[in-house]
Amino acid sequence: MSERTEVGSLGEFGLIEHLTKNIEFHNASTLQGVGDDAAVIDHFGKQTVLSTDLLLEGVHFDLSYTPLQHLGYKTVAVNVSDIYAMNATPTQILLSIGFSNRFSVEALDEFYEGVYAACARYGVDLVGGDTTSSQKGFVISCTAIGEVAPDQYVKRTGAQKGDLLCVSGDLGAAYLGLLLLEREKRIWMENPQIQPDLEGEKYIVGRLLKPEARKDIIEFFAGAGIRPTSMIDISDGLSSELLHLCKGSGVGAMLYEEKLPIHDDTRAAAFKFNSEATACALSGGEDYELLFTIRQDDFEKLGNVNDITVIGYITDAEAGVQLYSKGGNKYPVTAQGWNHMGNA
C-alpha cells in the first residue's frame, strides 16, 4: 500500500462502484446483482438456503495480525461453510461493511481482493450489500444464499442411534494458530524490535487466517451417493457442535479420543504451549470442518477418502455424550467452544 486514497474522495456511491466494478457472476440464477434496491435470483425447482454472520473487529478478528485480504477471504469462506453444512451449494452472497476513516480505499481494495478470490473459489456471486462509516473499527456482515434439490438439505436434527459420527479434515489447528499470534502480538507490543517467530507454524497460522469451507466434501457426498443423516460445521469447537447435534437429534454419542484427527504440526504446537492436543481439538474454534453422521450402510461408500475420519457413533440420548479416552476411561463431553457472548 504505497498510495492512500481517502474514501471521502469517492463518496459512497463512487466507492460502491469502485469496489464492485470487477464483479463476475458464476451462476445463471443471478439475474440482478449490485446496483438496485435488491438483488434478484431465479430458481429452477430448487430450495433456497440462507445463512448470515456478523463479524466485529476486536471480537472476531484482530487487524494487527490479520491481513485484510485474508479477512475478506475468510468472511466468505465462513459464511458458505454454513451453506455446505446444509448439504447445499452456495450461489450468492450479500456483503455489508462499516469502517472508520482510518481505512483507505487501498485497504478496502485488499479486503475485497480476498472476497473476490473466495467468490471465485466457491463459485458464488456477490449480489448486494451496504457500505457505511463507523465511529470505530471494522464491521462485517455477510449473508450467503445457496440452493439444494427439494428436501435434500441436511439438518442437525436427523442423527439416529447406530449412525457413524464423522468429521472432515483435522481439528484444533486454528485455535493454536490464534494462541501463537496472540503471544507474538504481546511480545511485539512489549518490545517492537522483536520480530514475530512464526518459523514452522505456517500450518496452524494458515488454518486460522485462511480457512477453507469444505466444498469438496459436499461434492464427494453427491458423487458417492451419500446423504448424511445430520450435519453441522465446526465453528465453535467439536464439543460444542457435537452437543448441538445430539440435542437437536435427541440422541447421545460416543467419541473416541484416539480417532480425533489432529495434524502433526498441531500436536507440536500444543506441546510448545503446554496444551493437550485433544483439548484443542475438542474445544478450539474456527476449524470450519464438517461434523456429520451417516448410516452404517453408507460406511463402505466412504471408500479411501483419507480426509474423512469416523470418530465415534450415535447412541441413545440416555447414554449422554461421552468421550472414550486413550486411557480407556469415559468422560462426559462439555461445551467449551468459543462463546463470544461470554466475553460480553
- Map grid coordinates 484416539 to a residue: 258
Find out whether 153 and 263 touch, Cβ atoms under 8 Å. no
In the complex, the smallest distance separating the C-beta of residue 151 from its own copies, rounded to whole angstroms, is: 8
What's the grid cell of residue 75?
468472511
CB of 249 to its own copies, least distance (A): 12
Contacts of its own copies in 241-300 (CB under 8 A) = 244, 248
**Which listed residue (26, 62, 121, 134) binds its own copies by CB under 8 A?**
134
Options 4, 186, 326, 340; binder of its own copies; rule CB under 8 A: 340
Least separation, in Å, of the C-beta of 246 and its own copies?
14
Find out whether 82 is annotated in a ligand binding site: yes
Residue span binding its own copies (CB under 8 A) among the ranges 37-45, 109-117, 250-258, 277-285: 37-45
- Which of helix, strand or coil describes residue 290? strand
Residues shown for the chain: 344
Residue 123 grid cell:
463459485
| Contact present, 286 and 204 (Cβ < 8 Å) | no
User: Which cell numbers hold the place of 312?
Assistant: 465415534
Strand 290-294 versus strand 164-168 pairing type:
antiparallel
- If the CB atoms of residues 170 and 236 are measured against its own copies, the closer one turns out to be 236
**Interacting residues with its own copies between 194 and 233 (CB under 8 A):** 231-233
Q: Tell me if 156 is assigned to a ligand binding site.
A: yes
Query: Shortest approach of its own copies to residue 168 CB, angstroms?
Result: 14
Q: Which stretch binds its own copies (CB under 8 A): 3-11, 69-77, 164-172, 210-218?
A: 3-11
Distances (CA, A) of 224 to 15, 163, 295: 45, 17, 14
The number of angstroms, rounded, from the C-alpha of 314 to the middle of its chain's C-alpha atoms is 24
Nearer to its own copies, 43 or 186 (CB): 43
- Compute the distance between CA of residue 259 and CA of residue 181 in angstroms, rounded to an integer: 28
What are the helix (H) ranges across 228-315? 238-249, 264-272, 277-283
Q: Give the interface segment with its own copies, choosing from 46-54, 64-72, 203-211, 309-317 (CB under 8 A).
A: 46-54
Residues 51-80 that bind its own copies (CB under 8 A): 51-56, 58-60
CB of 82 to its own copies, least distance (A): 4
Query: Which class for 1: exposed (0-12), middle (13-18), buried (19 or more C-beta within 10 A)?
Result: exposed
Residues 108-127 that bind its own copies (CB under 8 A): 127
Q: Which of 72, 114, 128, 177 binds its own copies (CB under 8 A)?
A: 128
Cα angle value 277/307/72 (rounded, 5°): 80
Q: Is 130 annotated as a binding residue?
A: yes
Of the residues 19, 20, 27, 39, which one makes contact with its own copies according to CB under 8 A: 39
- Cell numbers of 159, please? 442423527
Binding residue (CB under 8 A) for its own copies from 5, 100, 322, 336: 100
Backbone angles phi, psi at 251, to 5 degrees: -135, 175
- The one among 20, 69, 141, 315 contacting its own copies by CB under 8 A: 141
Distances (CA, A) of 325 to 38, 67, 283, 312, 331: 52, 38, 15, 12, 8
Question: Does residue 159 sit in helix, strand or coil?
Answer: coil
129 in a known ligand binding site? yes
Residues marked as binding? 37, 51-53, 60, 82, 112, 129-130, 156, 233, 235-236, 286, 338
